[in-house]
Structure 1
Amino acid sequence: MSSDPWGRVDEAGTVYVRTADGSERVVGSWQAGSPDEALAYFKRKYDGLVVEIGLLERRVQTTDLSAKDATTAIEHLREQITDAHAVGDLDSLAKRLDKLVESVEARREERKVQKAKQADEAKHAKEALVAEAEELAQSEQWRAAGERLRALVDTWKGLPRLDRKSDDELWHRFSHARSAFSKRRKAHFAALDAQREEARKAKERLVSEAEALSDSKDWGPTAARYRELMAEWKAVGRAQREHEDDLWNRFRGAQDVFFKARSEIFAERDAEQAENLKLKEALADEAEQLLPITDLKAARAAFRAINERWEAIGHVPRDARPKVEGRMHAVERAMQDSEEAEWRRTNPEARARAEGLTGQLQAAVDKLKGQIETARSQGNNSRADKLQKELDGRQALLEQALKGLHEFGG
């Protein structure tokens, strides 16, 4: 008979394993060799179980093995240990499995908490996407908002699903916001296309009229009509891109034909206009000598005489016109300012209003001073201080009113 701390072989070749409570269990029989060889064989069976448990422990610790699969593997090994045909400390293996169960359960709870956290984060993320999508649905930044909505869809796809009810509700809001934006954008561009088609038709009519006028010799009215046509062109808005440039080139080309012909006719007038410019510059010099205005009546009469001569001179070169006319306009504005100042100074109604306001404020100030003096004499300093603040305000208004009255010479 041969024995081991965890098992033995009796004379009949029956192999036993010792359990933790000191009892024995038959694990097999051995007839082919010595008892030591029998124990060695069944100890190798035990070692195989040790290896399997060690492998499972490492998988639980180092891989993403699911709790369900780990539990199944543990139960399978537990069955093998319970009925194991092996010699060794089977109870220690069972305890290792018990610890492994605890580890798996801890990981299960950890993953449960992590999954709940991830679900909560995903819900908040999707709610944020929905809120942004609903805000973008009202945008009129069609390109930027459209690109952003497409980016939000990609972000949504990258987030984990929630519970079915929550996910469906959020997706419905998200999808509705996108649909609302698409509908508004489609309506906008449909209306824009219609407007551009109307603009094309209107510009076709303007081009036809411009081309018909291009050989006109009625310089003044035709030039005026071209200016009107240009104003109408600008008011119409843009046509479709493929038509706009061609229409503009035709429209501008027709004007160029007319204005080129007119310029050739007007070229002979350039010398006369240059002489007119010298005369008007001399009149502008003369008008500027009236400034500053000290005698409004005399200045007004002198300016009127200068302006009559100005009007009789005729045209000057177009590029010089703004500057020389601007000088005359500046003198004219100074004249108008002086007239307005004189009117304000002599306006009896305004003076009467100013005097009335000044009188009312002066009466109020005098009354407040009397009330303050009374309050002080009665020892009511609180009321006196309050009245003093009101007096300060009224006196400031009175000073302002007196200043205004002074402008009337009062």
Structure 2
Amino acid sequence: METDCTTPAPLPPGTRLLHIGPHKTGTTAIQGALFAAKDRLTECGVEFPAHTRHPMEAALVACARPAMMGDAVPTDRHWRRLLDQVAATGGRTSVISSEFFADARGDATIARIVEQFGGAGVPPLDRGRERDRAHVLVTLRPLVRIMPSQWQQYVQNGLRMGYADWLEHMLRRPPYEKPNPSFWHRHRHDRLVERWARAVGPGRVTVVVVDDRDRGGLLRTFEALLGLPENLLRPVPDTANRSLTLAETEMLRNLNVEFRGNGLPDELYSRLVRGGAVLHMKNACPPAPGDVKIVTPRWAVERAAEIGAASAERIAALGVRILGDPALLSAVPAQPEPRPAEPRLAPEVAAQALYGALAAAAGQASVRSVHQTSSRELVRVLGHRCLKRLGRR
């Protein structure tokens, strides 16, 4: 094992870096920064071979994972297209990031992903050597910070269980697989690292322990590993990916109860609720200072810290490279547990959510930030706007 809290040395030139998350560990920030700096990366000898910020569909196909509730089912062409883009980078360093790679189940699936990713575009006779170019990067945060974020994300995908009950099932009711079996597959971090280390070897796995006190630390780590100039990667604001407040989550959770209880189709949920009401509410209504946050009870905090400590100890024994302080994974917040407060949804927030659903029903495009849109689509939209202006003149 190598534990390093200093600036890491760059990975060898020609490395294909696969960032697998897992969820809620800074993946969106990394993806946004890499995509926004895509052209400058190329100037520095590094490629970001994807047309969008997050090649989620490709990762879902590679991991044989179902799509989000109600979304269109991705096909093999999504994964093949990404592999073609990786192959086009030739011998240059490249980087791909998707937290959904952490959902890959079984050694055979992970080995296939690594072989196809590392050997994309390489003649079959050379793949035994060339696939060694693949290097796996895992970013980790303390479970105590992940659990509330992951719960509200599950609610955005149709979960109807409240936070207290969800914690009971995740932490106190073996086999800890209901209602979300994906949670511990992603967030038993020692087992996640071990699975991927078996596929590529411990020497080609880097674990980054994210320090939330250092807001730019993760971006600087990626720059160092990729051999990029300092401060080339910049934070990209993404209101569409912010976490919901407790009131917003409870509003959505109660809607999920009604939605499921009345047997409405999943496609309607994807289009009107997640892609309409929730997305527009996130973009139009940033959280206010007085909004009630999702509070994790003390017993769950302490249990999560115990699991984090066991995971950190196991990861240290795997022989992988560790950047950052593993002790953060078992840290218990010093502040006293706040008293539960009654979540109240502001009328303007409810209005924006309702408008988002109506706009989606009317066929209006979902709101997306620029860095989430492909370059081809941006050119098409800008060209259409220019033509409209010329027509008015």
Give TM-score, length-normalised by structure 1.
Answer: 0.14
More helix by share: 1
| Structure whose CA Rg is larger | 1
Give TM-score, length-normalised by structure 2.
Answer: 0.14
Which structure has more relative contact order (CA 8 Å, sep 6+)? It is: 2
